[in-house]
C-alpha cells in the first residue's frame, strides 16, 4: 500500500546512503554485532529550522544475500535503526525501525527542528548470528539508503506546522 502525500513543487531531493559494518566476534563472541560506537549517530544531513523535511522511504541492502541475512537475524536482538536530532537527542520515529528484510520501507514522516542549526543522525543496533553460510565471512556491511525531501515552500510549512501543533 502506498501513502499518497502531495508535496509542493519547491523542494530539493536528497538521496542518502550510510554503511554499517560489523566484524565477527567483535565485541560479542559468535555474533556480528552492529551495536558498536562506529555505528552510532552517523550524520545524515544538516537540518535548518526554516525548512521542513519529508522522509519518503528507506531501503536496506548488504554484502550478504537477503536469505542469508534473514537466517542470521538474532531473534533476541533484531537489527534496527533509529533517526534522531543531534541537538535535542529526540528520536524522529516513536519506535526503532526493525530491519527484517531487504526491502523498501515507506516512512511518510515529516521532520523539522526548533533549533536554528541541527543535524539528522542515524544509529544502527542489533546482532546477526554466525550460520553455516557466513562461516569465513569476517565482516558484514549493511547499507541504509533514504530519500529525503527538503521543503522550502513557506505556505506549505506554515500549514503543516498549524495542523501539527
Structural domain count of the chain: 1
pLDDT of residue 3: 57
How much of the chain, in percent, has pLDDT values that exceed 70? 98
- Give the per-residue SS3 of 110-133: EECCCCCEEEEEEEEECEEECCHH
Q: Give the C-alpha separation, 20 to 152, whole Å.
A: 31
The answer, yes or no, to whether residue 2 has pLDDT greater than 60, is no
152 within domain boundaries: yes
Tell me the pairing of strands 11-23 and 139-151: antiparallel
Selected residue with higher pLDDT from 9 and 92: 92
Q: Which domain holds residue 78?
A: 11-163
41 within domain boundaries: yes
CB-based contacts of 162: which residues, under 8 Å, 6+ apart? none
Q: Give the C-alpha separation, 24 to 89, whole Å.
A: 30
3 within domain boundaries: no
Selected residue with higher pLDDT from 164 and 44: 44
125-135 mean pLDDT: 97
88 within domain boundaries: yes
19 within domain boundaries: yes
pLDDT of residue 1: 44
- The pLDDT-based confidence of 21 (bands split at 50, 70, 90) is very high
Calculate the average pLDDT of the chain. Answer: 92
Each residue's pLDDT tens digit, 131-162: 999 999 999 999 999 999 999 998 998 888 88
The answer, yes or no, to whether residue 164 has pLDDT greater than 90, is no
The CATH number of the domain where 27 resides is what? 2.60.120
Selected residue with higher pLDDT from 18 and 7: 18
2 within domain boundaries: no
Backbone phi and psi for residue 19, each to the nearest 5 degrees, phi listed first = -110, 135
93 within domain boundaries: yes
| pTM for the model | 0.90
Question: Counting Cβ atoms within 10 Å, is residue 88 exposed (0-12), middle (13-18) or buried (19+)?
Answer: exposed
Q: Give the C-alpha separation, 71 to 128, whole Å.
A: 9
6 within domain boundaries: no
Amino acid at each position: 500500500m502506498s501513502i499518497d502525500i502531495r508535496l509542493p513543487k519547491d523542494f530539493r531531493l536528497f538521496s542518502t546512503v550510510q554503511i554499517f559494518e560489523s566484524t565477527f566476534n567483535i565485541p560479542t563472541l559468535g555474533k556480528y554485532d552492529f551495536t558498536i560506537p562506529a555505528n552510532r549517530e552517523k550524520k545524515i544531513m544538516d537540518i535548518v529550522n526554516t525548512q521542513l523535511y519529508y522522509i519518503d522511504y528507506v531501503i536496506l541492502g548488504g554484502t550478504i544475500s537477503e536469505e542469508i541475512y534473514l537466517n542470521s537475524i538474532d531473534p533476541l536482538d533484531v537489527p534496527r535503526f533509529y533517526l534522531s536530532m543531534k541537538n535535542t537527542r529526540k528520536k524522529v520515529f516513536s519506535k526503532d525501525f526493525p530491519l527484517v528484510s531487504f526491502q523498501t520501507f515507506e516512512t511518510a514522516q515529516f521532520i523539522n527542528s526548533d533549533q536554528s542549526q541541527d543535524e539528522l543522525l542515524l544509529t544502527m543496533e542489533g546482532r546477526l548470528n554466525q550460520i553455516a553460510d557466513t562461516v569465513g565471512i569476517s565482516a558484514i556491511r549493511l547499507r541504509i539508503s533514504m530519500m529525503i525531501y527538503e521543503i522550502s515552500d513557506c505556505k506549505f510549512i506554515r500549514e503543516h506546522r498549524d495542523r501539527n501543533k
